[in-house]
Structure 1
């Protein structure tokens, strides 16, 4: 039994049948109702030929019935392969070929391109059935294939087991408890690890996933979403807010704390099934400490290494790349001490060279984001005949700024070659890089 766990819909469908599992502004679904839908959907998919180990692609929404389709696939031992709904639909045939997925499930009303794979509307597969007792899931079974955002080159496909998602959720819930009456808003997409992790955390704890803002107690946000939340005059009484996906500026962190928001800065990634470390107290700003079932180590050159039960199964067709000590090398740079927690200093692969000098953009970005009013900063290399590359900064600000004042400020902390040659608004011919939630 150690290699299995009872599906939360089976568990709470028996023990707390009237407890709410899903909620929208118009309707609520109990665990018992969801269990019936999962059983029926799994039965219908089985009749369509879906079996253990099959890869089934889907275009998930942040609405009913997307969460239930995931668990119907898990019941069959099939692998859920959620796809980015913002990518051009013309790319679907290529993605399904890469996944080796013969079936695509998609929301009603979506105009798909011509493809050789079988396609089914959500309304054609969601179906009520009759539960037949306890249902257990195998921890070792492959559960999801996720396209990673990728910093360079072709995106990889990360493979996770049910056990990876299970232990990721248990470790998070140890410090971020979710109760029967709690509501976790589905604020992040289900084609990212952060959205899937949110489902496992909530359902394993017996709480409810919410499709609307009504009655929300728990949230997962990226800094841009937090900034929008702070623009509201009145804020709900949240219990916990996980914050990750991108660096948070000290000013934004302090503003959120000052407004009484219980935010928890978090470091994570797809390869570790979401969260790795989180800050769960009011210590000075850091990424916090490793959660249960995770280990971190600062390795060669300051690179963050990770391992544990939340570590994924590897990349499709590439395997699991571990170093000689059994760690996954993240490519992130940082420091860690038990008192202050994890501090992220940059990424190895964003390094560029200017006049023979190494420049890590994150070092400059953190300083810019510490300036009051600047909510986002990104530093990129600009080709230069003399130096090879020079740094240029793109920023978002709530107020005006003087370029010379910014340069003067940075000169107190940085050598001249690291001072950006220009400071531009992010809308000035530049599309801000979309940062995928990784935690």
Structure 2
């Protein structure tokens, strides 16, 4: 991947950020200059370079600089607390930490300004397709994060997967509003766009008005969203009147996208192509094309072009497993990640329909075992979303002396909330053992930066 930028016409626009437009030639030159600066500071093949900041062209530059050197870029979630950053930096043994200007004060004396780091001269060209280039720490929603090691070959095949599924070409304009510290924001559309010679419209972070402004001004053809962002757009006053006709499709980077949100975009003529994967799969592993998005909304789709997917044990429902060149080879520093046949166990339960499509059931770790019966919270949550008097909710297991665990609902109340009405909503719609035994109210559900509910924090409410 270290040659992607140089392979494109140098005068073609690669990246727009605010009022700044960077051509492929300029982006390549900046990456070469940063590689030289990193090398001058002692960064060598295999070293780790941290990056802390909201979305910024400097992170893209740093990625390609590391690719040239054969070093690894470690993007940090800027929403974490300082002790969490320190754990990751120490665990990875980071050589240098880069930061955008607004984040320099968060790590005083430890970070260099990523926007000004450059040096003349030629840097070593020590990277190749087998060289690790990304060290991405998992979100840690159920425990301590661990680092997934992704090599340049993985990013290359992931880009091919994206180009195939989204029909991505050099004529596309990709609007990126999700955080680049996550493989979803970085690799589902952004790096594939640069591989294809397309134009990336990069926003520092998601803002609904900025999104609508960009659609009106720049006419993007593709974008990637998550359910929380989709909900923010659909419920925004500008949704109904916005001209969204430039969007050929929207990628949805989440395991379980609520069907009403998909239908809201489909009603505007925009297919929602669901993408399934994990940090460890770069992430594209299973994906819908446009035809699948319209034919089977809510499904995960089929294995990506350069990926294999199966249900463990050859069953029609069970743990999803992934294999392919875009999958990690190890966890940091040298911990096994795959079985002896090269399969990665995702920890997600899914089912395979007769047409060969995958459907998400739930996280394996989230399964509630009550009296010997398996309860998948995601199934109950789909019904919970339609309950009266709540804004949002989640289902978790509560220890029970008789049944082992029982399901309970954790909800954000809305006007007219009544716990009894919420529980009554489930009657006759699912098996009685799946019905929540209680309703717990909270001001807001704890979520990661990509909108996933942090289950460990929910469970702490029951402690």
Residue in structure 1 matched with residue 310 of structure 2 by the alignment: 297
Instruction: Please tell me whether the aligned partners of residues 397 and 405 of structure 2 are also in contact (alpha carbons under 8 angstroms).
Output: yes
Residue in structure 2 matched with residue 229 of structure 1 by the alignment: 233
User: Which blocks of at least 5 consecutive residues in structure 2 are unaligned?
Assistant: 204-210, 453-463
Please state if 1:433 is matched with 2:447.
Answer: yes
The structural deviation recorded for 1:260 is: 1.9
- CA deviations 1:400-429 (Å, max 9, x no partner) are 56655544442323222211123455xx25
In 2, Cα distance between equivalents of 1:84 and 1:266: 21
Instruction: Please tell me whether the aligned partners of residues 79 and 449 of structure 2 are also in contact (alpha carbons under 8 angstroms).
Output: no
Query: 1:10 is matched with which residue: 6, 15, 34?
Result: 6
The structural deviation recorded for 1:6 is: 5.9
Residue in structure 2 matched with residue 19 of structure 1 by the alignment: 12
In 2, Cα distance between equivalents of 1:254 and 1:402: 28
The structural deviation recorded for 1:124 is: 3.5
Instruction: Please tell me whether the aligned partners of residues 8 and 204 of structure 1 are also in contact (alpha carbons under 8 angstroms).
Output: yes
- TM-score, length of structure 1 as denominator length: 0.87
Residue in structure 2 matched with residue 171 of structure 1 by the alignment: 161
- The verdict on how the C-alpha distance between 1:318 and 1:65 changes in structure 2, with shifts beyond 3 A counting, is closer
Instruction: Please tell me whether the aligned partners of residues 172 and 199 of structure 2 are also in contact (alpha carbons under 8 angstroms).
Output: yes
Instruction: Please tell me whether the aligned partners of residues 348 and 364 of structure 2 are also in contact (alpha carbons under 8 angstroms).
Output: yes
SS of the equivalent of 2:64 reads helix
Please state if 1:283 is matched with 2:295.
Answer: yes
In 2, Cα distance between equivalents of 1:44 and 1:221: 34
- The verdict on how the C-alpha distance between 1:340 and 1:368 changes in structure 2, with shifts beyond 3 A counting, is farther
Residue in structure 2 matched with residue 367 of structure 1 by the alignment: 383
The structural deviation recorded for 1:55 is: 0.9
Residue in structure 2 matched with residue 242 of structure 1 by the alignment: 251
SS of the equivalent of 1:87 reads coil
- The verdict on how the C-alpha distance between 1:217 and 1:396 changes in structure 2, with shifts beyond 3 A counting, is farther
- The verdict on how the C-alpha distance between 1:258 and 1:370 changes in structure 2, with shifts beyond 3 A counting, is farther
Is 330-339 or 303-312 further displaced after alignment? 330-339
The structural deviation recorded for 1:346 is: 1.5
Instruction: Please tell me whether the aligned partners of residues 9 and 35 of structure 1 are also in contact (alpha carbons under 8 angstroms).
Output: yes
The structural deviation recorded for 1:430 is: 5.0
The structural deviation recorded for 1:344 is: 1.2
The structural deviation recorded for 1:190 is: 1.6
SS of the equivalent of 2:116 reads helix
The structural deviation recorded for 1:345 is: 1.2
What CA RMSD, in Å, does the superposition of the two structures yield over aligned residues? 2.8
In 2, Cα distance between equivalents of 1:194 and 1:170: 15
The structural deviation recorded for 1:433 is: 3.3
SS of the equivalent of 1:65 reads helix
Instruction: Please tell me whether the aligned partners of residues 251 and 372 of structure 1 are also in contact (alpha carbons under 8 angstroms).
Output: no
- The verdict on how the C-alpha distance between 1:100 and 1:139 changes in structure 2, with shifts beyond 3 A counting, is same
The structural deviation recorded for 1:435 is: 6.7
In 1, Cα distance between equivalents of 2:25 and 2:406: 60
In 2, Cα distance between equivalents of 1:373 and 1:279: 34
- TM-score, length of structure 2 as denominator length: 0.83
Residue in structure 2 matched with residue 199 of structure 1 by the alignment: 190
- The verdict on how the C-alpha distance between 1:268 and 1:239 changes in structure 2, with shifts beyond 3 A counting, is same
Residue in structure 1 matched with residue 100 of structure 2 by the alignment: 107
Query: 2:273 is matched with which residue: 264, 267, 278?
Result: 264
- CA deviations 1:92-119 (Å, max 9, x no partner) are 333221101121111124214467xx63
Instruction: Please tell me whether the aligned partners of residues 186 and 210 of structure 1 are also in contact (alpha carbons under 8 angstroms).
Output: yes
